[in-house]
């Protein structure tokens, strides 16, 4: 049977600034047919009649050749540039590939499964609840939104990410994840890896990456406290201790951590210097007596804005957080008192299966009360999570608090988020000019990614 001819022509070439990505330029009166076919195969639309295939596994030439065969079978003319044809014919492998028993085709299959996970997250089909770094790579836990709550435990990054376990509900998955990773657990997805950033750029631009460009630095401007610059956390703590002599300071022998302890020894602050902006830099803990178990704990990452931390320190100095006793119930009255400033400021309020969320009118900062964690007082789960940034699922900064954190402290924090202000000195986000979370990945992962760059041979 003769395949009908379609008036569509596809010109395939390598991306001008991303070595493995492939571009497609469509022409002809029926170019829309080729457009639909490519987009269905996960090619991204870059412009009118222009698409790009960019993958985290660097297998674009292989899948472009596969697409060529499918288009040709449909009667669509495909032209491949010599440079792309050369890439299609290359044989390459990953050096130090951890699954050494896999054949090249099996490696490609593993990579393709990792690509599907990446795409499900990118398209919002797989919602990541939390992540953690296990000392070697990144693990995460999430749920598929349209698969009756099916949840997965993910292990690895980029082309090595795999589904390590599955669960029937998000609650079961989160409990298992918290048990496995404990205090290393962080809310939401991990920051984008270098490969994910590079791939995202290739999908949206034919120009070169602009990561190294020096943007103009505008004059300082006043912004909400939650959107302010992280500033100098070390200077913030030094000023606090100078102004409050009832706090004693000492640094660890390695000089990388400062501890501040109130004179009654029931309230303690730990500040880790020069930490990654997305790792815990501040830990505040309260105790009923100098020798009792911990009553409550609050943590903040290194990218937390200075005005938010300053308000927290002021509260500790004024009240010492002693208005909640160990074992006090946390009910609707407590939650309402903790978040009253948000309601008065017009923040939206939503209840889901796991708890309650309050979000600013602009949608760039929010607080979540986790009712599930509140029912497990003996487990190290964050009951309150505060986030700031462009998206709740990929925040710029986070702050967490445990079950018995004083409602007065949370109310002061809520008021600061609703009405407080700070400075934004320039376009760079993060402490001491560090890049934004989207441009930073866990430091331990850099070695892993560098050791798995493909080696190509003719």
3-state secondary structure of 436: coil
3-state secondary structure of 445: helix
The answer to whether residues 111 and 59 touch, using CB atoms and an 8 Å cutoff, is yes
pLDDT at residue 383, rounded to an integer: 92
Question: Distance between CA 87 and CA 67 in Å, rounded?
Answer: 15
Question: Distance between CA 367 and CA 358 in Å, rounded?
Answer: 5
N- to C-terminal Cα separation, the chain: 38
pLDDT at residue 212, rounded to an integer: 52
CA angle 426, 428, 433 (to 5 degrees): 105
pLDDT at residue 396, rounded to an integer: 92
The answer to whether residues 150 and 144 touch, using CB atoms and an 8 Å cutoff, is yes
In tens, the pLDDT along 416-429 reads 999 998 876 543 33
**Which DSSP category does 325 fall into?**
-
pLDDT at residue 219, rounded to an integer: 55
Check residue 135 and give left, alpha or beta (phi > 0: left; psi -120 to 50: alpha): left
- Cβ contacts of residue 263 below 8 Å, gap of 6+? 246, 247, 248
The answer to whether residues 247 and 261 touch, using CB atoms and an 8 Å cutoff, is yes
The position carrying tokens 């089909």 is: 125
pLDDT at residue 249, rounded to an integer: 87
Segments in the chain below pLDDT 70: 1-4, 210-220, 252-255, 320-329, 377-380, 424-458
Q: Of how many residues is the chain composed?
A: 458
Cβ count near 46 (within 10 Å): 19
Domain layout of the chain by residue ranges: 9-92, 104-204, 221-435
Instruction: Write down the number of H helices and E strands in the chain.
Output: 12, 24
């Amino acid at each position: 049977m003769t395949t009908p001819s379609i008036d569509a022509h596809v010109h395939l070439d390598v991306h001008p600034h991303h070595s493995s990505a492939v571009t497609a330029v469509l022409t002809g009166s029926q170019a829309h047919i080729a457009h639909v076919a490519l987009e269905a195969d996960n090619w991204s639309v870059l412009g009118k009649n222009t698409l790009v295939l960019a993958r985290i596994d660097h297998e674009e030439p292989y899948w472009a050749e596969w697409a060529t065969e499918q288009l040709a079978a449909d009667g669509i003319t495909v032209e491949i540039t010599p440079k792309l044809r050369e890439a299609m014919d290359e044989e390459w492998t990953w050096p130090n590939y951890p699954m050494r028993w896999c054949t090249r085709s099996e490696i490609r299959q593993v990579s393709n499964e990792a690509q599907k996970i990446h795409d499900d997250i990118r398209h919002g089909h797989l919602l990541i609840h939390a992540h953690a770094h296990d000392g070697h790579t990144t693990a995460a836990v999430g749920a598929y939104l349209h698969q009756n709550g099916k949840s997965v435990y993910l292990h690895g990054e980029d082309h090595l990410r795999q589904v390590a376990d599955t669960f029937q509900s998000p609650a079961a998955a989160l409990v298992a994840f918290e048990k496995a990773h404990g205090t290393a657990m962080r809310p939401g997805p991990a920051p984008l890896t270098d490969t994910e950033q590079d791939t995202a750029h290739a999908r949206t631009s034919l120009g070169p990456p602009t990561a190294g460009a020096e943007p103009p630095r505008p004059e300082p401007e006043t912004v909400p406290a939650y959107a302010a610059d992280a500033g100098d956390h070390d200077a913030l703590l030094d000023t606090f201790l100078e102004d409050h002599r009832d706090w004693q300071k000492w640094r660890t022998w390695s000089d990388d951590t400062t501890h501040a302890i109130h004179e009654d020894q029931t309230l303690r602050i730990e500040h880790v210097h020069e930490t990654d902006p997305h790792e815990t830099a501040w830990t505040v803990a309260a105790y009923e007596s100098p020798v009792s178990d911990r009553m409550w704990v609050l943590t903040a990452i290194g990218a937390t804005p200075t005005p938010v931390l300053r308000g927290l320190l002021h509260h500790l100095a004024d009240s010492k957080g002693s208005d909640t006793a160990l074992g006090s119930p946390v009910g609707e009255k407590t939650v309402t008192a903790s978040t009253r400033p948000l309601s008065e400021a017009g923040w939206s309020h939503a209840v889901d299966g796991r708890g309650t969320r309050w979000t600013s009118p602009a949608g760039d900062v929010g607080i979540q009360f986790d009712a599930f964690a509140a029912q497990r007082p003996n487990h190290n789960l964050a009951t309150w999570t505060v986030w700031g940034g462009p998206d709740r699922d990929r925040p710029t900064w986070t702050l967490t608090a445990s079950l018995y954190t004083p409602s007065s402290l949370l109310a002061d924090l809520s008021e600061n988020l609703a009405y407080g202000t700070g400075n934004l000195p320039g376009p760079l986000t993060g402490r001491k000019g560090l890049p934004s979370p989207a441009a930073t990945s866990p430091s331990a992962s850099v070695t892993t990614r560098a050791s798995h760059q493909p080696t190509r041979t003719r």
